[in-house]
């Protein structure tokens, strides 16, 4: 009976320590908000070494994140003879090609003691920001709770570094735009004076205006990074809020007299579940945004459409949009670039949602359908109940820089049409008989694409 009581007490202490560490990790963004990347990294490594009693933590930021690569390491006192971060980095880099299933992996200890078991955590969707490597001489490292804390810490650090990079980029773009506005204002004033003297200068003035518009479009495309970061932060915030709630509940159960160990254990499991949900969001976003070049392969358009709906459901719910889908099971496969076609679908869905922002007198219905078109094509339609478009504007909808939105760039539909035409298909729009409009694209079924 004494052993059982001791085991229960040890388990309570372990759960309390895990929850306290998790709450501390979730509080880190408040500490480093608006700070430099070096501050974020120092806080991260100090926190992890102290919380998880690690022998070392190594962090490397890639050269593409900031001007130069950044390496930082924190060591336990027993490893004090390892004097530089690059020594640890050299040892770690030789092991990074090992298959993920083999992690944690033993790394020789430069001091000559027993092996150190290490596990890497990528910073960013695909490690584009850098990586965190934690090491311990314990053979049971990392435990499930330690793996959870490391994963949440890596996600928090990724968001913090992205925010720091975004702030730097926004300042650079703002400074550049200010210089461009001053320069272009002066040039246009000079050209307007010349136009009053000679009509032939009109062509030069128009070219200057076109160049200014092109440069502003580039600046606006750069700021789309902020929209993506905000979207990722919102999608991950929901499971993280669940983690905080479960952690608080677990602490109350453990503080009860007597402690509610079973209830605390269950809330800890829910905490792990919500951590996995946050990881799933990152995985789905990586699938959508990772590929760049066009790569044709047999694919199920229905499955690709469901993934886009799943990724967009949070934004659609915030806009009070009611989504319905009609995706027949007998739809033939197509040959296409999955990511590019999903970008087209995502653009059509977001345009439909935006078109219904001001609708208050009827449901904000959004219907997504797929169907066969003839014998050898597949068609997808996105139908909204929004404000629609004027008949005279139908021919302009897909022109570059034409937009009906106050904050739009007018390039989404133009790029979408280019993608569909690259798949030997067509993209068009029709006005509904009732309110709203319907956007459609049709592409060849599998085996019917032209070479």
DSSP states along 297-363: EEE-HHHHHHHHHHHHHHHHHHTT-EEEEE--TTPPPEEE-HHHHHHHHHHHHHHHHHHTTT--SS-
pLDDT higher at 276 or 180: 180
Instruction: Answer with the one of 225, 257, 290 that is the final residue of a domain.
Output: 290
- Report the pLDDT averaged over residues 194-200: 75
Least confident of 217-226, 236-245, 395-404, 434-443: 217-226
pLDDT above 80 for 422: yes
Number of structural domains the chain divides into:
2
| Residue 95 pLDDT | 66
Tell me which residue range forms the domain holding 129.
11-290
pLDDT value of position 392: 65
Query: Does a structural domain hold residue 6?
Result: no
pLDDT band at 30 (very low <50, low <70, confident <90, very high): low
362 lies in some domain = yes
Q: Domain check: are 131 and 267 in the same one?
A: yes
Whether residue 268 sits in one domain with residue 149: yes
Same domain, 384 and 307: yes
Domain boundary among 257, 275, 290: 290
Mean pLDDT of 191-199: 77
Residue 195: half-sphere exposure toward Cβ, Cα within 13 Å? 11
Closest by CA to 168, choosing from 214, 221, 225, 230, is: 225
Torsional sign, CA 269, 274, 275, 276: positive
Instruction: Judge if 252 and 354 occupy the same domain.
Output: no
| Whether residue 260 sits in one domain with residue 323 | no
Report yes or no on 1 lying in a domain: no
- Confidence at 368, pLDDT banded by 50, 70, 90: very high
How high is the pLDDT of residue 443?
94
Q: Are residues 161 and 242 in the same domain?
A: yes
pLDDT at position 451 is: 41
Q: What is the pLDDT of residues 206-235, one digit of tens each?
A: 676 566 545 544 444 444 444 445 555 655
Q: Does residue 169 fall inside a structural domain? A: yes
Which among 69-78, 279-288, 411-420 has the top mean pLDDT? 411-420
In a domain, 407, yes or no: yes
- Is residue 433, in this structure, part of any structural domain at all? yes
**381: helix, strand or coil:** strand
Percentage above 90 pLDDT, the chain: 13
Better-predicted residue by pLDDT, 105 or 198: 198
Q: Is residue 276 part of a domain?
A: yes
290 pLDDT above the threshold of 70: no
Do 115 and 261 share a domain, yes or no? yes
Q: For the domain that residue 329 is a member of, what is the CATH number? A: 3.30.565.10
Position 406 pLDDT exceeds 60: no
Among the candidates 290, 309, 333, a domain finishes at 290
Q: Is the pTM of this model over 0.85?
A: no
Is 355 found in the same domain as 317?
yes
Looking at the fold, whether 126 and 190 belong to one and the same domain comes out as yes
Residue 16 has pLDDT above 80, yes or no: no
Q: What is the pLDDT of residue 313?
A: 82
Residues 26 and 142 grouped into a single domain:
yes
Q: Mean pLDDT throughout 354-368?
A: 90
User: How far, in Å, CA of 75 to CA of 135, rounded?
Assistant: 10
Task: At 125, give phi and psi (nearest 5°).
Answer: -60, -40
CB distance 60 to 69 below 8 Å: yes
Mean pLDDT of the chain: 76
CB atoms inside a 10 Å sphere around CB 186:
10
Q: Are residues 124 and 240 in the same domain?
A: yes
Is the domain of 72 the same as that of 177?
A: yes
Residue 5 lies in a domain: no
- Judge contact between 320 and 159, C-beta under 8 A: no
* CATH assignment at residue 284: 3.30.450.40
Average pLDDT over residues 428-443: 90
């Amino acid at each position: 009976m004494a052993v059982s009581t001791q085991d229960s007490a040890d388990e309570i202490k372990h759960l309390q320590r895990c929850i306290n560490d998790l709450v501390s990790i979730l509080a880190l963004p408040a500490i480093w908000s608006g700070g430099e990347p070096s501050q974020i990294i120092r806080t991260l490594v100090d926190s992890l070494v102290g919380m998880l009693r690690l022998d070392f933590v190594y962090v490397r930021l890639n050269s593409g994140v900031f001007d130069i690569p950044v390496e930082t390491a924190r060591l336990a006192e027993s490893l004090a003879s390892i004097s530089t971060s690059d020594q640890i980095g050299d040892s770690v880099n030789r092991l990074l090609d090992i298959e993920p299933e083999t992690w944690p992996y033993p790394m020789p200890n430069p001091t000559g003691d027993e092996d150190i078991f290490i596990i890497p955590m990528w910073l960013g969707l695909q490690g584009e920001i850098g990586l965190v490597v934690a090491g311990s001489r314990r053979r049971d490292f990392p435990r499930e709770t330690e793996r959870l804390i490391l994963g949440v810490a890596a996600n928090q650090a990724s968001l913090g570094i992205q925010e720091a990079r975004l702030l730097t980029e926004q300042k650079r773009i703002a400074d550049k735009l200010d210089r461009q506005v001053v320069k272009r204002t002066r040039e246009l004033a000079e050209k307007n004076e010349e136009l009053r003297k000679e009509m032939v200068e009109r062509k030069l003035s128009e070219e200057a205006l076109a160049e200014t518009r092109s440069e502003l479009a580039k600046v606006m495309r750069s700021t789309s990074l902020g929209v993506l970061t905000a979207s990722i932060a919102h999608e991950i915030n929901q499971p993280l809020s669940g983690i905080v709630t479960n952690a608080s509940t677990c602490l109350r159960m453990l503080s009860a007299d007597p402690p509610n160990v079973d209830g605390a254990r269950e809330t800890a499991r829910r905490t792990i579940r919500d951590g996995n949900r946050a990881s799933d969001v990152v995985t789905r976003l990586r699938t959508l945004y990772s590929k760049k070049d066009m790569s044709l392969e047999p694919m199920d358009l229905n499955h690709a459409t469901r993934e886009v709906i799943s990724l967009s459901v949070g934004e659609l719910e915030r806009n009070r949009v009611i989504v319905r889908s009609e995706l027949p099971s007998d739809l033939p496969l197509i040959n296409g670039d999955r990511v590019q076609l999903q970008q087209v679908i995502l653009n059509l869905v977001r345009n439909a949602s935006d078109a219904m922002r001001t609708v208050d007198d009827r449901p904000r219905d959004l219907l997504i359908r797929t169907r066969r078109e003839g014998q050898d094509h597949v068609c997808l339609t996105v139908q909204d109940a929004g404000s629609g478009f004027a008949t005279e504007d139908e021919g302009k909808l897909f022109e570059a820089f034409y937009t009906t939105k106050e904050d739009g760039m007018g390039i989404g539909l133009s790029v979408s049409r280019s993608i569909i035409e690259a798949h030997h298909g067509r993209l068009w729009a029709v006005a509904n008989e009732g309110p709203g409009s319907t956007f459609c694209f049709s592409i060849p079924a599998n085996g019917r694409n032209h070479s």
